[in-house]
Every structure is written in structure tokens, then in C-alpha cells.
Amino acid sequence: MPQLIGDVLMLLVLFQAKHMFADYFLQTPKMLSGRGEYAHLGRAQHAAVHSLGSVIAFLLIGSPPVFILITVALEWVVHFHIDYFKAHYSDRNELRPDQAAFWRAAGLDQCLHQLTYIVMTWAWVVYAS
């Protein structure tokens, strides 16, 4: 297997692992409450945990520091807003886990995060590999 393909696959695996930990193991009550408010410190902290995980992933594959800073700053902004729009929509519509619309919103949220990782990996191939 060519080195570039191996590196791309490794980066995607690292993003999957960090996403699992950041979304399902490292969220605090502060990060989970009041998420429908725009200026929510907990959501900002949650997005920062994701960004820190991406820093680690990029460092593990030897990415340039400037590339890492720019990419994870953009990831923070994108992640913050994806989570805000899902929470705002869910709160406005009073969605609960026993409703299909709740799971559609959760699924769209997760899909957008995964597409973000694909874009970040593309950017790594184009600008940092």
C-alpha cells in the first residue's frame, strides 16, 4: 500500500477514535446542559476537546504546526456551530429520544462531523503531506 494511502487511513482512524472519546466519554454536565443557547461556554469547551484531539492526531502523523493551528481553529468553529444548530433545533422542537426527529437531528449532526473529518483529511493531503 502506498504510504500516502496508509497515512490517510490512519488519520481517519485517529479522527474516529478522538470523536468517540470527545463525544461519548469526555463530556461534562456543563458541556451537556443549556446547549441551545448560542454563547454556551460548555459547548465551546466541548469543541476545544475535539480540537485538542485533532492536534494530537495531526502530530502523530507529523503535520506542520502552522497547518495544525489553522485546521483545528477552523474545526473548532465548525464543530461549535454544528452542535449549536442541532441543540437549538432540538430544543425549539422539544425533541426527545423517543421521537424519530430526535434521531434524525442526531444523525445529521454526526454526519456533518464525519464530513468535517473528510475535509480535514483532504486538506492534510493537499497542504501538509
Residue identified by cell 483529511 is 121
What DSSP string runs through 70-99? Answer: HHHHHHHHHHHHHHHHHHHHHHHTT--TTS
Cell of 104: 434524525
Tens of pLDDT along 23-76? 999 999 999 988 889 999 999 999 999 999 999 999 999 999 999 999 999 999
- H helical segments located in 25-62: 29-32, 41-60
Q: Say whether pTM exceeds 0.75.
A: yes
